[in-house]
Structure 1
């Protein structure tokens, strides 16, 4: 039976979340990076106001001649240096629209650098996940913008009808961090934010052959603030970059950690969330019935 984890409703920088010292590169466990985020595509079926992934203007996660082979080459290089990753987190865009999802997951798994593979989706296009997808991954996370028990219940039955090996969890946020209101922090404010940044711990990102301290830097095309994979000679280079005491230049303008008021989750300019959720539920119900699960 798939393991169903409890919904996570606390925003990343919610005032209730206890700020802890950022430790993006760890030396006292079996892995060095807790979570490494990799985007496989940029297409999404939503246009969320305040989208942290910069949809619809998200830059491509690989170079013009790259593709998933570029991600794989980067991971192979990092593994050769002795790096271990607790979890590779695969995202989009909306990853359910990625046409070669299963092939790309197989290629990334074959590198054998990570203990787990996780896929994150908005749950509004379940057609993108078949039995093979669920058998390839360790966990599936639904960023639940519908936020109803009915939607989550159908997802639980849908996954159970296809696989009994994947952990399923839901992120049901009451609010989001503000990603776009202009801010300019002082040097000391940016340093304090950097030292306790949630995103540094859980949002180390691989894009365009570079490591980034967080996806915001990558999504804003600040490649000069990343660490080029080919230039890394040893693990100390990675530790020095990720655990640096000096914030990235982008940190002084980072609105998500500037203490701004939280914003409405997944607000759409066209109100299509209901239509998409009904279509998704209809597909899942048909799949469940076809599998004889009910």
Structure 2
């Protein structure tokens, strides 16, 4: 295993930031780490990097137990970038990448050129003069510079424009093809769904779901909304998350999720009396994530 956490807890005074977290990540996996602000994502990542130690439990990277005192022994195999990463403000972009390159024994000049051609950073300006997006380009180049075995990313595309976001996703796919393990958090759910092979969903410090990314839209179905003038109309038998409301004109509004056969839905729609309006929406990634999150929230009650 590249990453292995067992029963990890992290407390900050009276706040439980991470609660009984256990998971492992194999070589070549691209894992999306997802959750609302305050879910425990960044705390987990800082523990993975050895910046802070867990209150209890164990964290192992490359068969080495990670502790702040010994974490640096694994850092040569890890690339890291965060959306709010602090870079040396008085260096130029070129000087910063020169410095990062000098920290490694192997020649990274070819790799650096490739990454600079992908991200097109502004190298001559001082970092404090750069836009947030251009600072992020430098952070990403530094993260991938040594062709690391593991790349840990915390909101990696924060500040990037759509073109650069797409170039970043293509880089992730390329790295996966050569067997790199990637662990990334992001608020951009579409990019998580596009490149990740697995998704870990966090809520209030706990893992509430851990599943292959391919399951995200599988059987997620459609959202259906109809308006009818028939006051006794009911939803179809196998509908889920049914909500029935009365409109201002005394019409009956029925909303539900449909995950069964489309023909069965069509037959039911044909039977609806006094049908005035219908809206059928295919699930997208955002809807699937929100439903998954809401489902687990109900279970936790």
TM-score computed with the length of structure 2 as normaliser? 0.29
Q: Greater share of strand residues, 1 or 2?
A: 2
Give the TM-score taking structure 1 as reference length.
Answer: 0.30
Find the structure with the greater CA-based Rg. 2
